[in-house]
Amino acid sequence: MKYKKLKNISRLIGILILTIYLSIEVFEYFKGIREAGQVMHNNEFVVKDSNIDKEYLELFAQPVKGKMFAKNVKWSYQKNPIMLMSYDQLYDVFIYKTPLISHLENLNNLIHTERRYIKLTSEIVYSSFNLDGFTFYYSSKQPSNANGFYLRWKGDSLTTAFSNDSIVSYYASITNLSIRFRESGINDIVLSTEKKNWFQHKKREISIILKQKNGFIYLLLVFLPEGNKKMDLKIINDLVSE
């Protein structure tokens, strides 16, 4: 009798585990359908080229320029070009720029951070690409001039690695990151890492660099290819020219 009771309990536990598993799979399936409906690729074209746009190259410090290599450029009919670069084959760099409403005396006054998980903005179409364990989503909508920089992340504490009037650099180990350029605006960029298991995503090191120059704000996301050693913040801080 006792054996039969244990057997029934084991069977119930097995059914419960199976139900939970199937529920998660169904949820992920429909979530994938919803997100896939928000992602497009036909509004842009990709150029694989070793040439770096001069404007973007000028963001980097003089000793670094000779070690920067372009992986590809994503051109859009509605946005400024988005560039993927490599520094000395050690770090990958994602570069995105958007115009500012007006020049600021101190870039720090533009920045707002919050520790919070963020998804894609509903009813907005995104383009995406995968790179080294990250998925980058960026809005295909024509961007408005930035009146702020709103950074939200999920992961370890966000640390200020470097800061002056025109450059701010952060470091964090994240699973999710979102950026918008207006307080009540859409999430212009959303970044997610690969899944670790059903419930968790892998934490990945990333450096977030903002630079104000010539009426634009430039966003640089710097990260190590998956499996590489720990990020060297001194190297990161020396990448961008002051």
Domain boundaries, the chain: 1-36, 43-237
d(Cα 32, Cα 36) in Å, to the nearest integer? 6
The pLDDT of residue 210 is: 93
Contact 124, 142 (CB under 8 A): no
Q: What are phi and psi of 235, to 5 degrees?
A: -65, -45
Q: pLDDT, tens digit, for every residue of 204-238?
A: 899 999 998 888 899 999 988 766 678 888 888 88
**pTM over 0.85, yes/no:** no
Q: How far is CA 186 from the centre of its chain?
A: 15
d(Cα 142, Cα 179) in Å, to the nearest integer? 15
Q: pLDDT, tens digit, for every residue of 81-125?
A: 788 888 988 899 999 888 887 766 788 888 999 988 888 888 788
